[in-house]
Amino acid sequence: MVTRRPIELTLIHTPPTPSDPSPQTFAEFPSLGPGHITDFSIVQQTLLDLNLSVPASECVSDSPIHLRIHSPNVPDLSLVDLPGYVQISSMDQPEELKDKINKLCDKYIRSPNLVLAVCAADVDLANSPALRASKKVDPLGMRTIGVVTKMDLVAPEVGAAILSNDRYPLVLGYVGVVCKAGSKGRGKKDGGDLVAPIKAQEDAFFGSNGDHFSREGMLVGTDTLKRRLMQVLEESMAASLHTISNAVALELEEARYQFKVQYNDRSISAESYVAETMDALKARIHGLSKAFSKAEVRRSLKMALDDQVMDLLAQQYWTDPRTPELSKLVNSKVSPDELDLYYQRKLDAIASSLTKSGVGRAATTLVVGAIQKKLASLSEEEPLSFHPSASERIRMTAEGILHDRFSLTADQVENSVKPLKYEVEVNPKEWEEGRSRSLGLMQRELTMCEGALSKIRDAVGGRKLRGAMEFVGEVEEKERRRRERRREAKAGGQEWEEDDSDPNRPAYNPALLAKGKLPFLLALLRRS
């Protein structure tokens, strides 16, 4: 296998000009840097080296080789040479080679690209992987040209039957070519011209078999392939001109309208447009800096910390069997100092968990995310919305600046919070505000729970749901008693087994039990 990477060949027509009446033919590889190559043997060697740069373990790469040829003898045309299809991987090739080639070729043969399906004349077209692949994306054969090589290896009547386009018809037909020089011409280079011997061999073969290949509609020869390809390309481009012109007209109309709205038909240059756009961006960023003040940052941090407080409450209180005792203290005039030592220690643990949970990094991450979101919204406004590359560059620049300052900012916030990590100082006013805010959060959570319970009740039915909740409660209670008895038996060095099966208890659908667990937990939450 020679072609290991897609070769994207771009032919650029360079017509004669008064300053340059005889333009030079040269090639260039854009990925290798500037440089005009006039010796095409160097081009061949470079293509070979770039293909062999793919490791043998991979065999195929989807990284294309870009080659441009400037010449007055070529049309403006883009061609892509792809690796040939394989049926079975050899011992020194990876097993996934066939799939890699198929995926690579499928990417390039999609509409609206024309497909040159290269097939060998000495192989049945039914076994041609190129034709099989083109049939998947072009089932009617509207944009596929069959190129039949090695016509000199089969009998003339067999080759003519293939080109008749009867067995596997294509709208664009088949073209027969001979791509190798004869044994007499293989050593000749005719002053470096490698094409002349091949062309002579091809003309000699088709000329000597004119009875078979000179019939009407029969397409043979490399020159015929060139003309056929140019004809098809011209027809394809002509058919697309109407759609392209309509799209361009719509874009122009939209541009004219935007110009009238923003600039009132006043004269403006590219430099002044860029300057005004940058001034507008600076003004928006300045407005953002004023809007995104300390109060906004404090509000965002409070919301994040409130959510974290709710998570800590869920971990410390809602699963505690002594939590119902707290409801008795709601209306009592008990100061924090007079609380049971158990609850005092639990409160200290929660405060310690909150202050030691990486507040600096969490706060910095929150602020950075908010700034990125607001900058992204700024870059999506007009006129930046018409320039996606500029918007992307603005976002990348902002992300780079924020990334460079993230670690330092997080450390500074952590240093500011450090004195409060082990001993939290809270005055009565702050305590009362925090308590009121926590009650509001819990009330909001309860409202959400009530809404979820109502939806489940409407979907399942009140009676079924109550039965499922009772069953779940009994199962939880039995499991609790079972754990206690097992723990007591283990402490006494005894073995304990118990069969809790109840034949009188109705069986419940697992889905119904899953729906009953949530209301059961919600009921426990309301009681606590």
Instruction: Enter the tokens of residue 118.
Output: 């290269």
Q: What is the pLDDT of residue 504?
A: 45
Q: What is the pLDDT of residue 503?
A: 44
Contacts of 364 (CB under 8 A, 6+ apart): 406, 409, 410, 413
CATH topology of domain 7-236: Rossmann fold (3.40.50)
| DSSP alpha helix (H) spans, 264-358 | 270-291, 294-316, 341-355
Q: In b/e form, how buried is each residue of 403-420, taking b as 16+ CB within 10 angstroms? A: eeeeeebbeebbeeeeee
Number of Cβ atoms within 10 Å of the Cβ of 105: 21
Q: What is the pLDDT of residue 189?
A: 45
How far is residue 155 from each of residues 122, 127, 162, 221, 230, measured CA to CA in Å? 10, 19, 11, 17, 29
Domain chopping of the chain, boundaries: 7-236, 294-425, 439-496+505-527
Q: What is the pLDDT of residue 27?
A: 92
- The span from the CA of 402 to the CA of 395, in Å, is 11
Q: What is the pLDDT of residue 281?
A: 84
**Preceding omega of 112 cis (within 30 degrees of 0):** yes
Q: What is the pLDDT of residue 267?
A: 72
The closest of 23, 40, 21 to 9, measured between CA atoms, is: 40
- The span from the CA of 493 to the CA of 301, in Å, is 54
Q: What is the pLDDT of residue 40?
A: 85
- The span from the CA of 229 to the CA of 227, in Å, is 5
Q: What is the pLDDT of residue 20?
A: 85
Contacts of 370 (CB under 8 A, 6+ apart): 292, 297, 300
Number of Cβ atoms within 10 Å of the Cβ of 307: 11
Global pTM reads 0.44
> What is the spatial order of strands in the sheet that 7-13 belongs to?
26-28, 65-71, 7-13, 77-81
- The span from the CA of 267 to the CA of 55, in Å, is 57
Residues of the chain with pLDDT under 70: 1-2, 87-95, 181-194, 263-266, 318-319, 321-340, 352, 354-358, 417-427, 431, 460, 494-528
Instruction: Enter the tokens of residue 420.
Output: 């409060």
How far is residue 237 from each of residues 145, 231, 240, 325, measured CA to CA in Å? 16, 10, 5, 82
Number of Cβ atoms within 10 Å of the Cβ of 330: 7
Q: Coil, strand or helix: which one is 176?
A: strand
